[in-house]
Chain A
Amino acid sequence: MPQVTLTVNGKKHTVEVEPRTLLVELLRETLRLTGTHVGCDTSQCGACVVHVNGDSVKSCTTLAVMCDGAEVTTIEGLARPDGTLHPMQEAFREYHALQCGFCTPGMVMSAIDLVQKNPQGLSEEEIRHGLEGNLCRCTGYHNIVKAIAAAQEVMHGRRKELARAAE
């Protein structure tokens, strides 16, 4: 079996994988990082989104063997070791941008990639288009859009702290 070495959430792993092993299977089954979810079989739902070398990708549509040498970040790798949440995680929590929470890890990973690549700031419409690869069935997306709009202000240093959700 081929061997792959990849850095996941800052930690280096060398594992043997069958060529047909998907990245999501490696993360969930081998590394037990079960925060990355699987919601469909056809690359639509986005519950499995992780970052590979800084880009958001669907780990259900990526072979583990093709990630040899890659830096992978999953939802478990976002918060600081002291437990401080990433501004996007904080925003999802503060803005009630989740209900069942199943889509949340993929949503958060997609949202971070989207914000990072758009330092000029994103409009509501741009946020909505940027999330086309992630399905949420609970929230109607309303609070997700608001959370991302708030998080980008902190991520780009335009605000020191997250604006509180409206009362």
Chain B
Amino acid sequence: MYEFAYHKPSSVADAVKLLSADPEARPIAGGHTLLPALKHRLARPTALVDLSGIAELRGIRREGDKVVIGALARHAEVANSDAVKGAIPALARLAGTIGDVQVRNRGTLGGSVANNDPAADYPAAVLGLGATVVTDRRRIAADDFFTGMFSTALEPGELLVAIEFPIPEKAGYAKMKNPASRYVMTGAFVSRGPQGVRVAINGAGPCVFRQREMEAALAANWSPDAVANIRQSPDGLNSDIHGSAEYRAHLVTVMAKRAVADAG
């Protein structure tokens, strides 16, 4: 690892000040994405701003027709939260399958969503539920948030504070894990609710995306069969040593079908 400075602010305002003052500084929460990158010298931040001391970023609560989860919520907390399990059980199940136990004990919702790794789980739930990303300065709709591989609508120095998940009537998630890393090869998060029918696909492309054709089919007929014959084009999908774009395109259909079955 290269050397870096370390700061531990106790408020969002202080964290934002530190991050704004130094464009090469990076926030760190659980560190399960950033630290591996630092260890392999893939990133060279001048400073790390440790968010773990900021109480404003914590907490999981139900607020009317939505569940609000603080950016620092660890995957294990979300998986075990009664509020989440009661309102959006698919989200709790998703959180309970991220990585492994130790990743879930450290990794955070905010870190995963802000990083927008194409093979991460949470972006599928955020997009698939039509959630709203709350930052230190604004609210961003999920549809506008994920802009590309490892890129989001967050501006330099902007901090993800919480995510508001509207409570759906039904939601389900299915994924195939990469047999080595256990990241997502391809997953599908489906929901029906106040945001209409949404199908978000992760792992398959460079960035999580909505499968509109499947959404239309499910809007007409909410059943696994409705998506079973919808083919995803492999154009633009990821291809790597674990699976070609064609394989991933095939998985999109299978995972969507299984996600609908999971939603019930």
A contacting B, Cβ–Cβ less than 8 Å: yes
Contact status A63-B105, CB under 8 Å = no
Q: Closest approach, in angstroms, between the C-beta of A11 and any C-beta of chain B? A: 23
Contact status B106-A61, CB under 8 Å = yes
Contact status B4-A19, CB under 8 Å = yes
Contact status A132-B52, CB under 8 Å = no
A55 interface residue per 8 A CB criterion: yes
B243 interface residue per 8 A CB criterion: no
- Chain A positions 1 through 31: 1 when the CB is less than 8 Å from some CB of chain B, otherwise 0: 0100000000000000011101000000000
B39 interface residue per 8 A CB criterion: yes
- Chain A positions 33 through 71: 1 when the CB is less than 8 Å from some CB of chain B, otherwise 0: 000000001111010010000011110011101100000
The CA-CA distance from A42 to B36 in the complex, in Å, is 6
The CA-CA distance from A100 to B55 in the complex, in Å, is 44
> Which residue on A lies nearest to B74, using beta carbons?
A55
In the complex, which residues 1-25 of chain B have their Cβ closer than 8 Å to any Cβ of chain A? 1-6
Q: Identify B102's interface contact among A41, A56, A66, CB under 8 A.
A: A56
B159 interface residue per 8 A CB criterion: no
Contact status B102-A49, CB under 8 Å = yes
What A residues does B36 contact at CB under 8 A? 42-43, 61
Interface size of A by CB at 8 A reads 27
> Which residue on B lies nearest to A114, using beta carbons?
B101
Interface residues on B, range: 20 to 34
> Which residue on B lies nearest to A110, using beta carbons?
B101
Q: Identify B106's interface contact among A42, A62, A134, CB under 8 A.
A: A62
A130 interface residue per 8 A CB criterion: yes
What A residues does B2 contact at CB under 8 A? 20
Contact status A110-B102, CB under 8 Å = yes
Q: Identify B6's interface contact among A19, A57, A61, A133, CB under 8 A.
A: A19
B103 interface residue per 8 A CB criterion: yes
Known contacts A66-B31, A66-B50: A20-B101 contact under CB 8 Å: no
Contact status B102-A133, CB under 8 Å = yes
The CA-CA distance from A23 to B178 in the complex, in Å, is 28
Contact status A55-B76, CB under 8 Å = yes
Contact status B106-A113, CB under 8 Å = no
Q: Which residues of A are interface residues toward B (Cβ below 8 A)?
A: 2, 18-20, 22, 41-44, 46, 49, 55-58, 61-63, 65-66, 110, 113-114, 130, 132-134
Q: Which residues of B are interface residues toward A (Cβ below 8 A)?
A: 1-6, 28, 31-32, 35-36, 38-40, 48, 50, 52, 76, 99-103, 105-106, 180-182
28 A-B pairs whose Cβ atoms sit less than 8 Å apart in the complex? A19-B3, A20-B1, A20-B2, A20-B38, A41-B39, A42-B181, A43-B32, A43-B35, A43-B103, A46-B102, A49-B102, A55-B105, A57-B102, A57-B105, A58-B103, A61-B36, A62-B31, A62-B35, A63-B31, A63-B48, A66-B52, A110-B102, A114-B101, A132-B101, A133-B101, A133-B102, A133-B103, A134-B100
**9 nearest A-B residue pairs (beta carbon):** A133-B100, A19-B6, A55-B105, A132-B100, A20-B1, A133-B102, A58-B102, A61-B35, A65-B6
